Structures are given as structure tokens and as C-alpha cells.
Amino acid sequence: MPGTDVAEAQRVVLGELPDLPHLAELPGRGPGAEIIGRTSAFLVDMPVEVYAGRWRIAARPGRDLRRALDLLDRDLDQLTEQGDGYAGVVKVQAAGPYTLAANVDLPIGGRVLRDPGAVRDLTASLAEGLRGYVEDVRRRLPRATVLLQIDEPALPTVLAGRVPTESGFSAYRPVEATTATDALRELVARVDAPTVFHCCAPDVPIPLLVSAGATALSIDLSLVTALDPLGEALDAGVGLLAGVAPTSGARAASHKDLVDRVRTVWRQLGFSAGLLPRQVVVTPTCGLARASLSFAKDTLAACRDAGRRLVEE
């Protein structure tokens, strides 16, 4: 979400998305509030710090980690206060291990991604931290069902071996699909919560994410060029958070436009109209942090109204 006022952002989320609210995240507040810093704060026995504008593994906890944890606590306090008594599904988010490994540095330099052993350690540490995170949210909102979203925008690049080294003249070797599947499956099992995998990049490895235990997939439908893998996932009962609402522009899309976009893809997939409202949630294509608060509010409202229209018709 845009801005720096988490109380206001959380009010917008709960007001516009009463059936599936999420924890508001405001990366505009700086290091520790953005996806990499926030997720790094979940790592267990693997402290981090900011060095030369990048997050890296540190020898001991310090000021940067404390700030990230403090921002998270403030955000969770707002969710707890404003969501008191909420009894539906609530979504929380974190970066996945491969997006983290491609963006966090080792103490000796280079991304964590360069060292397969370090990637395994980071994945295990993250899984333990996310397990505690989900349990904390369950304690705060005891009547709610917690849905965990794992953001993996860098995963296609990691699998393809296109993450550049620091020099920019070469790239880190690709991660094998079987290795990534096993790692993500272990993370999902460890956290023990329904899990959405989000990837707003081209070439989303849909079969890999389904094999890893995805309850649902969150993808930008405009970037999907091969419909067969998506159709197979839906046929297997995996849910779809259909990213169709633009996150920028002169004005937010109307709910009618969003309905048309979802239905167009659904018809191309060849599924019956009756399945659509049971298996699909209408969402923005990606985050709204760079939009104005009014644009973000209008976009969330359009997604909500589009979802209701799909259910009613």
C-alpha cells in the first residue's frame, strides 16, 4: 500500500476488502518496511543489516534488524486492533526463499544465491520464522483463518540462471527445478498454513508451484502466454488470485472491466462459468505502493465489486 500511515492503510484494506483483508505493508517507510527487509526480519538465527544500500547477512543483530521488527510489530498491532473479532480469512505476506536469496548478500560478498548451502540454511531459517509469524497472527486474531502469501517474483529468473553477479558480466548458475520444488515444499509443510504463491513476472513456473503445495496461485493474467499449465492447476483444484486490476494509470479500472478480463481468460481455458466464482479471487496485478491512496482504494473497491458480481451472476 502507498504512504507511511499504516493505520489509515489498514482501515482502507479492512473497509474495501471485508471478505479477504490482508496485512497492509508500506514500503515507502524505507528499509525494513519493503519486501526484502521485512522478510529478512523473519529469519531465525540469521541476522541481517543494511550495507551500501543492500541487505546482507550480519554477524549479530543490530539497528537495522530492530527497525524492521519494530515496523512489523506496529503493523501487526494495527491489524490486531482494527481486525478485533474478525472471523474470516486474513492474508499475510512474505518473500520466498529464492527471491530473498537473489537479493540478500553474504557477509563475504555476493548474493546468498551463489552458495547452495547458504540457500538451504536461509530456506530452513525462513520456514521457521514464518511458522512463528503465522502462529503470532493466529493468536492475535483467534477466530480468523490465516492465509500465507509467498512472494517469489525472482523465481523465474533464478530458475533460468539470469540473476546477474555484482560485476554484471555474468550470472549465477540456475537452480534446478527439482531443488526449488523440494525446498518450497518443505517450507509449506513447516509453516502448516494454506499458502498462496505470488509471482507477477513472466514465465511463472506454475507446475513447480503446484507441486510445492500451493493452495492458490496469484499471477498477473496479462503475462500468461501458455494457458495449459494454468488450466491443469485449476483442474487440480488450485485456486487463482487473478491479477487483472492495473496498479497505475490516470484512474482505477472499473469493476466491469475487471469482470470482462477474468471472464475472457476463463472462456479461453474452457471451464464452466459455474466454477469461476468458487475458484477465483479478483486482485490487482501486483502491489499498489507506487499509487496514490485514493487510486489504491478505488482499485481495491473495484476488485471487491468484481468478485461480488462474479458470484451473483
Domain ranges, ordered by start, for the chain? 6-214, 231-313
* C-alpha to C-alpha distance for 27 and 6, rounded to whole angstroms: 10
Task: Tell me the per-residue pLDDT of 226-265, one tens digit each, with 9 for 90 and over.
Answer: 999 999 999 999 999 999 999 999 999 999 999 999 999 9
Burial of 19: CB neighbours in 10 Å, binned 0-12, 13-18, 19+:
exposed
Task: Tell me the per-residue pLDDT of 113-156, one tens digit each, with 9 for 90 and over.
Answer: 999 999 999 999 999 999 999 999 999 999 999 999 999 999 99
Percent of the chain past pLDDT 90, that is, above it, reads 97
> Which grid coordinates belong to 107?
557477509
pTM of this prediction? 0.96
17 touches 42 (CB < 8 A): no
Residue with cell 554477524: 59
Q: Is pLDDT above 90 for 166?
A: no
Burial of 176: CB neighbours in 10 Å, binned 0-12, 13-18, 19+:
exposed
pLDDT, average across residues 169-182 = 96
Q: Mean pLDDT in the chain? A: 97
DSSP element (H, E) containing 73: helix 63-82
In the chain the first and final C-alpha atoms are separated, in Å, by 30
Task: Tell me the per-residue pLDDT of 191-206, one tens digit each, with 9 for 90 and over.
Answer: 999 999 999 999 999 9
Res. 313 pLDDT band, cuts 50 70 90: confident
> Which grid coordinates belong to 302?
473495484
14 touches 83 (CB < 8 A): yes
